[in-house]
Structure 1
Amino acid sequence: MNTISRFFWFCSGAHISTLEKHPTEHNKYIGIGATIFFTGLFAALSGGYAMYFVFKGDTAAVLFAVFFGLIWGLAIFNMDRYIVSSINKSSSTNKQILQATPRILLAIMIGIVISRPLELKIFDKEIKERLKVSYLNNQRSKIDTLNAAFGNKYKIEMDKLNGVKAERDSLASAIKTDRQKLNFEIFGNKTTETSGVMGYGPYAKRKEAELKQREQNLDTLTADVRALEKFVDGRKQFDGLMTEKLYTGKQLDSLTSIAGFADRNWALGQLSFNTDGTRDLNTSLAVTFIGLLFIFFECLPVFVKLMSSSGPYDHSVQNQESSQVHESDKDKDYEMAVVDGVHDTRVATEITKRKRQLTHPPSEEE
């Protein structure tokens, strides 16, 4: 427990030898140090997860993620440690708040950076579903764009093909109708256009001859349609339309599994909206509150230091700093006296004594 306590004291940025003299302050700085440590730990996890997606697919992706996560976590840990330790508790409340304001703003920015990759992991399933919809819509839009461009490029050929198809379909429908009338004439079915006399008479023979001629015309139109379709299909193959198809479910799963950080980050932002563009209040609040939670966690060390009262440790540190500043000022006065060529015996003796103390500090026995 003593080792853990000293570790958290180190995390808090406290002067350990001074803090040990004030037992009532131990728990406070253990809490501050633990908060800073876990903030750095979350930063390491967040940075490592983000870097894993940057190098996803690479054999060294895990190694890069661990390496960058450690660097990022240590950087955030060191920054938080400095931010908390630099707040002077001996100052007035307003001055402490003024000192802490830029640090709080910096902590907010760090919290946003830390929270984003972790939000990506929390909403991983929803992000994949939104990416599938996005990829499918993009592919459909791409196919529509290619078809529109192809139609403009080969407008004459497409119009000719459509015209020949319409003529073929119309002729085929007319032949079918006339074939039925011929059957009525042969079997003696009385209609407004048939005689009602059964048998294969002159009228039936003439009708059948006309049908054979029209069927020959239909065969010619069908051959023209096939030739034009073959040409159009060849052009589509050349322009790449034949290879562009809507993604299957398996392809969508594969695409979402290799999606990069930018795509996943975009999808996370889109979770606040439904597919029809309306706002999804529940998901939006969930994403917002998770982000605010990490921002608050990042600001917590500063808040803890601000809320804590000035204790014996703070007064001891303040006295030590004042003493060191006073000693530094005296050293400067001695140096200035020598530079100015002071020949006063008392001053010269004091200067010599002072220099001896600085270069050869007395031992504990002395």
Structure 2
Amino acid sequence: MMKQITNFFWFCSGVHQETLEKYPAEHNKYVGIGATIFFTALFATLSGGYAMYFVFSGGKLAILYSLLFGLIWGLAIFNMDRYIVSSINKNNSGWKQFLQATPRILLAILIGIVISRPLELKIFDKEIREQLKVTYLDRQRANIDTLNIAFNNKYGIELGKLNELKAERDSVESTIKSDRLKLNLETFGDKTPETSGIIGYGPYAKRRQADLDEQEQYLDTLRATIQRQEAFIQQRKQFDGLLDEKLLTGTQLDSVVNVAGFANRNEALGDLKYNADGSENTTNYWAITFIMLLFIFFECLPVFVKLMSARDAYDIDIQHIQSVDAHRSIKNRDAEIEIIDGVHDTRVQSGIEKSKEEYLKPY
């Protein structure tokens, strides 16, 4: 079992296994390099699949698409890591090795950012859900405020008239209340600058009662006018859609958050870096940043491990094998050229002799 695991990690590291088996002291080193490449690809698979799950969330084939894309993405990262790590020539100088690995390091930074984002969304899932609720409610309030402002501008005259009617109603109600108090004082004979001080329902009381009845009739007419005006405003609100805009309840918010897409969750994660007043939330900011840096480092780790490893017996043997193969290839090529040249000379010589025979042939 351990032998199979070792061979698998050797395969991941891209080594020539028959050559490596000659040097037991280097076995663990290349197991570590292969394991690093494997787990980097594994994280890439999980991250890519999780990201695609949100892209196709709600669809019947969301899980299938996420698994398929995650597998393809992980294999692509695995193949690239394996090729670049195995192609770094430890027999070159350190500077040449670094230049050889520079494109991979730059690409690893980009890949690390891409890989880390979906996993950050999962790590901060609870905080993101709460932030999404706040964001959705703020957007609803802003939308309702915008509609109200537009409605007030459109029906400014009608709303102004309604406010005037309500102000007049309040004034009439206040006057009626005051006059009713004066009528009571007049009836009970309380002497004031505005009452006669005579007990009973006399002429002064009757006159005040008549004025009070007229004011109450006018108040009833005023209230009916206000009701008609309010009904008109309500109809206009219904027509313009203001009454359809209502803040979501807790259950509705949970349902909306559950179907939130990748872009909304990504935006919410970015909002977690800042407080409500716009100031930086240092705790969340550095937590998210360090997670991203960790995945960038983890993505660069296969190349760093290869660059940090010293030149060993395996590298020397590989260089020797490559030199022998190159020498053999050159030798075979030269032999093939000699054979081709010999055939060509034979054909040329045969052609010359044939020409001489034709020349000397009697007519």
Q: TM-score, normalised by structure 2?
A: 0.91
Letter in 1 for 2:86: S
SS in 1 for 2:72: helix
Distance 1:328 1:189 in 2: 132
User: Structure 2 matches for 1:14-29, cutoff 5 A?
Assistant: 14-29=15-30
Tell me which residue corresponds to 1:260.
Answer: 261
Alignment correspondent of 2:318 = 317
Distance 1:335 1:207, change over 3 A: same
Give me the whole-angstrom Cα distance separating, in 1, the residues matched to 2:344 and 2:171: 126
Which segment drifts farther, 264-273 or 153-162?
153-162
Q: What is the CA-CA distance between 1:32 and the residue it aligns to?
A: 0.3
Q: Deviations over 1:311-358 (max 9, x none)?
A: 11111222222222223333433444455567789xxxxxxxxxxxxx
1:203 aligns with 204
Any unmatched runs of 5+ in structure 1? 346-366
Q: Is the counterpart of residue 179 in structure 1 residue 198 in structure 2?
A: no
User: Pairwise mapping of residues 120-199 of structure 1 onto structure 2 (< 5 A)?
Assistant: 120-199=121-200
Aligned counterparts of 1:170 and 1:331: Cα–Cα separation in 2: 114
Task: Using the aligned pairs only, state the percent identity.
Answer: 67
Q: Which runs of structure 2 are paired with 1:257-296 in the superposition (5 Å)?
A: 257-296=258-297
Partner of 1:362: none
Code of the aligned partner of 1:162: N
**1:37 positional shift:** 0.5
In the alignment, the residues of structure 2 paired with residue 49 and residue 267 of structure 1 have an alpha-carbon distance, to the nearest angstrom, of 17
Is 1:240 the counterpart of 2:241? The answer is: yes
What letter matches 2:274 in structure 1?
F
Partner Cα distance (2:334, 2:188) in 1 = 136
Give the AA of the match of 1:148. Answer: I
Matched, 1:62 2:63: yes
CA shift for structure 1 position 80: 1.2
User: 2:109 — aligned with what?
Assistant: 108
Shift of 1:190: 2.7
Q: Output the amino acid matched with 1:63.
A: L
Structure 2 equivalent of residue 212 of structure 1 = 213
Give 5+ residue unaligned stretches, structure 2: 347-363
Task: After superposition, give the CA deviation of every residue in 1:169-225 in whole Å (9 maximum; x if it has no partner).
Answer: 211111111111111111223322222222111111111111111111111111111
Q: Distance in 2 between matches of 1:25 and 1:113?
A: 34
What are the Cα deviations for residues 1-44 of structure 1, in whole angstroms up to 9, with x where unaligned? 00000000001111112212221111111000001111111111
Shift of the 341–163 alpha-carbon distance from structure 1 to 2, 3 Å rule, reads farther
Query: Over aligned residues, Cα RMSD in angstroms?
Result: 1.6
- State the alpha-carbon separation in 2 of the partners of residues 337 and 27 from structure 1: 47
Q: Which residue of 1 aligns with 2:85?
A: 84
Write the letter of the residue equivalent to 1:25.
E
Deviation at 1:95, TM superposition (A): 0.9
Which whole-Å deviations, capped at 9, do the CAs of 1:219-256 have from their partners, x for residues lacking one? Answer: 11111111111111111111110011112222222211
How many positions carry a matched residue from both structures?
A: 345
